[in-house]
Amino acid sequence: MKGIVPIVAPVIITIALLAGAWQLKLLPLATQQAGAASTATAASGTLSYTMPERVVNLADDGSFHYLKIQITLEFTDPRHHAGELKGDALKQQEDALAADLAPRLPAVEDYLITTLAAKTSTELLKPAGKEALRQQLLTGLQQRLPDHQLRAVYFQQFVIQ
């Protein structure tokens, strides 16, 4: 037992010192750097644009299913900090965003309808299918709205019949 103490004690002391240095942010760990990058993104404000509700026939063979969906797009607003805009000021900025998006909406609508109509109910009934659709829409819409920083796509309604 006495032979183990001289070996284990320095290891425990070293771990304690490293933990203390990490708590005091004296160690530049990768997780701290990644956290700083996500904090910078989170510091920006966001604006939302809710697309009109739509009903789309799905690409099921031999049966007829449709998808009723409503999507909200979330954009990064680098001009404002998170939580800075509230009430009427937020509404004015979201109205300005809607006016700015208006010329691109036909391309966005076409992309949404074409993409959604190519899906089957079997794909979309699975949680992984919904997440894959969300990522596909995010990527495709970012390409169609290059002047805007699209951050997320949310499903407000998602009903398959």
**pTM for this structure?**
0.71
**CB-based burial, 28-45: b 16+ in 10 Å, e otherwise:** eeeeeeeeeeeeeeeebb
pLDDT score of 34: 45
* pLDDT one-digit tens code per residue, 39-92: 444 578 899 999 999 999 999 988 899 999 999 999 998 888 888 888 898 899
Strands 54-57 and 150-160: unpaired
**Smallest Cα–Cα separation from 70: which of 56, 84, 87?**
56
pLDDT score of 118: 96
pLDDT score of 2: 63
pLDDT score of 36: 44
44-160: CATH homologous superfamily? Band 7 domain (3.30.479.30)
Mean pLDDT of 14-36: 57
Return mean pLDDT, the chain.
84
pLDDT score of 15: 74
Where does the pLDDT of residue 133 fall: very low under 50, low under 70, confident under 90, or very high at 90 and above? very high
* Position with higher pLDDT, 78 vs 143: 143
Share of the chain above pLDDT 90, in %: 61
In whole angstroms, what is the distance from residue 97 CA to residue 101 CA? 6
Where does the pLDDT of residue 158 fall: very low under 50, low under 70, confident under 90, or very high at 90 and above? very high
